[in-house]
Amino acid sequence: MTRGFNFSAGPAALPEAVLRQAQAELLEWGGARASVMEVSHRGKEFMALAEESERDLRDLLDMPSNYKVLFLQGGATQHFAQIPMNFARREGVADYVVSGAWGEKAVREGSPYTRVRLAASSLDSNYTCIPSRGQWDLDPRAAYVHYTPNETIHGVEFHDVPDTGDVPLVADMSSNILSRPLDVSRFGLIYAGAQKNIGASGLVVMIVREDLLERCPRDIARIMSYAEHAAHGSLLNTPNTFGWYLAALVFKWLKAEGGLAAIGERNRVKAERLYAAIDASAGFYVNRVECSARSWMNVPFFLPRPELDAMFLAESKEAGLLALKGHKAVGGMRASIYNAMPLAGVDALVDFMRDFARRHG
């Protein structure tokens, strides 16, 4: 068996160099004479890894000093509830801009903890575009404005950062964090499940402006308080040590690849090459997202006849192109081309798509 090109939306492909290093270090990590999964999270070896991983992340993002970095357990869905729990009063209000299924879920999970206002939505387009900025109804008294810069399921992405004035901007960047340079200072809070562009599932990386931590209430359990996690360096309880270790390796890999400017250019080229193949197929393949909102990370596309779907998936898998089935909410196909997907993988997919269209068109 040989590794295929993995187009899974998440858990997603990891850089091969990272996997090989993790494999080599699995039994004996550094000078610990034990696996990284077997050492204390409060021991000097792991503490050194934690500190270095934070420095690398800050360096990659050129992060301002007034932001805290947290390495937390769970996934983004847990934090859909935990964010309003920490930053919005029950009697207050938080604005949400929804451009896909994950934004919908953030609204649903956040509603028990604050009054959620739907400030804008592109549901009427079946989430094929970004809500028109002129239609956003933002409350200047809102605790924050939440949005999803990249919608993994629908393949819709913001290509700029919304201006929300004095109201903190909160972003679920699970599927596009570290995919290009980012001005962290535009945000109050950024959070991301690790399993797409950072590492393994079960870890969430959070970047939060220090002044927002002062809002965290004292009448919630300490384990739910971001202020408590920040005060304890993300070691309030036993963290996902292996997930943190993998994230640290990915940060090193990104720096070795030239940083976010270089990886962003690579991601732009990959996306343009795949969309060009779809658009040049004379309608055999169709992407329904408005061109200005097409995602660099997740590319859904549809074949001309549903009966071809199973054949496409079987043949693509046989060709070593894995996990191309679209999400059940949308159907069709979806190619997720995160940082770890090499250009060679996109080229292999494009060649297969052209050959499949020639044979079945």
Tell which residue, 233, 214, 183, has the closest CA to residue 64: 183
CB 313 within 8 A of CB 252: no
pLDDT in tens, 317-326: 999 999 999 9
Which residues does 83 contact at the CB level (< 8 Å), separation at least 6?
Answer: 110, 144, 146, 170, 189, 191
Instruction: Give the end of a domain, one of 226, 256, 286.
Output: 256
The one catalytic residue in 68, 196, 252, 270 is 196
pLDDT in tens, 69-82: 999 998 999 999 99
pLDDT in tens, 124-135: 999 999 999 999
CATH number of the domain that 98 lies in? Answer: 3.40.640.10
Residues 26 and 117 occupy one common structural domain: yes
Residues 205 and 126 occupy one common structural domain: yes
Instruction: Give the end of a domain, one of 256, 282, 306.
Output: 256
pLDDT in tens, 181-223: 999 999 999 999 999 999 999 999 999 999 999 999 999 999 9
pLDDT in tens, 136-152: 999 999 999 999 999 99
Bridge partners, 206 (sequence order)? 70, 191
Residues 247 and 168 occupy one common structural domain: yes
Prediction pTM value: 0.97
CATH number of the domain that 269 lies in? Answer: 3.90.1150.10
**Is 172 known to be catalytic?**
yes
Residue 276 maps to a domain? yes
pLDDT in tens, 232-256: 999 999 999 999 999 999 999 999 9
Per-residue confidence (pLDDT) for residue 90, from 0 to 100: 85
- Confidence class of residue 329 from pLDDT cuts 50, 70 and 90? very high
The one catalytic residue in 68, 95, 102, 325 is 102
Share of the chain above pLDDT 90, in %: 97
pLDDT in tens, 76-115: 999 999 999 999 988 899 999 999 999 999 999 999 999 9
Helix (H) or strand (E) holding 313: helix 309-318
Residues 169 and 97 occupy one common structural domain: yes
| Residue ranges making up the domain that contains 82 | 17-256
Domain count across the chain: 2
Whether the pLDDT of residue 1 is over 70: the answer is no
Per-residue confidence (pLDDT) for residue 91, from 0 to 100: 86
**Is 102 known to be catalytic?**
yes
**Is 196 known to be catalytic?**
yes
The one catalytic residue in 29, 56, 68, 172 is 172
Residues 243 and 311 occupy one common structural domain: no
Q: What is the 3-state secondary structure (H, E, C) of 146-158?
A: EECCEECCCCEEC
